[in-house]
Amino acid sequence: MKVVGISGSLREKSYNTIVLRLILKRFEGLGVEANMLPISTFPLYNPDERIVAKAIVDDANRQIANAHLVIFTLPEYNHSISGPLKNAIDWLSEPYMSSVFKDKPIALIGVAPSPVGSARAIAHMKTIMGSLLARLYNRRDLVVGEIHNKVDEEGQVKDAAFQEMLEVYVRELKDWLRINS
């Protein structure tokens, strides 16, 4: 089983990237191959520049195609997903109606310092992934508010309840994949 994680943030010490690493580490502990797919190398989307972006897009498409699950961690900017994440998705959304996301199991995690996490970014991402015909994990979204009280910038978990939440979520995702594969 393979899992690919995509953080919607470009910051190295972003809470979204930290939480994604924590989740991928837990998958590895369950014997699952887990890797991060960076979005920082995608050029600004311009269909006229397909040749320039070909290697980056082909590599990302290959990683996603070979994954059994793609996990997105979502910061929230102006009540939506980040510009860099939308840009990467735009590159990966071709060909229309049969992109690499079609029928791909997807999990969404919203991480933010605000009390409501990034619930609105998750709502927008559901619309985007729905338009790409992805298979969304709908048992529950993982919305993590007040993240600064749960982990530090070095990736150390400070909150036992959050630690347990991560463990349970990863087990639920693995079970969902096993049942729906």
* pLDDT tens string 15-65: 999 999 999 999 999 999 999 999 999 999 999 999 999 999 999 999 999
Which CA distances in Å does 55 have to 61, 85, 171?
A: 10, 18, 34
Digit-coded pLDDT (tens) for 117-172: 899 999 999 999 999 999 999 888 899 999 999 999 888 999 999 999 999 999 99
Catalogue all structural domains in the chain, each as residue range(s) with its CATH number: 2-180 (3.40.50.360)
pLDDT at 84: 97
pLDDT at 178: 87
Distance CA 102, CA 96 (A): 10
* CB contact at 8 A, 150 and 159: yes
pLDDT at 141: 86
pLDDT at 139: 82
pLDDT at 76: 93
Q: Which residues contact 35 (CB under 8 A, 6 or more apart)?
A: 2, 3, 4, 5, 24, 63
Q: Which residues contact 55 (CB under 8 A, 6 or more apart)?
A: none
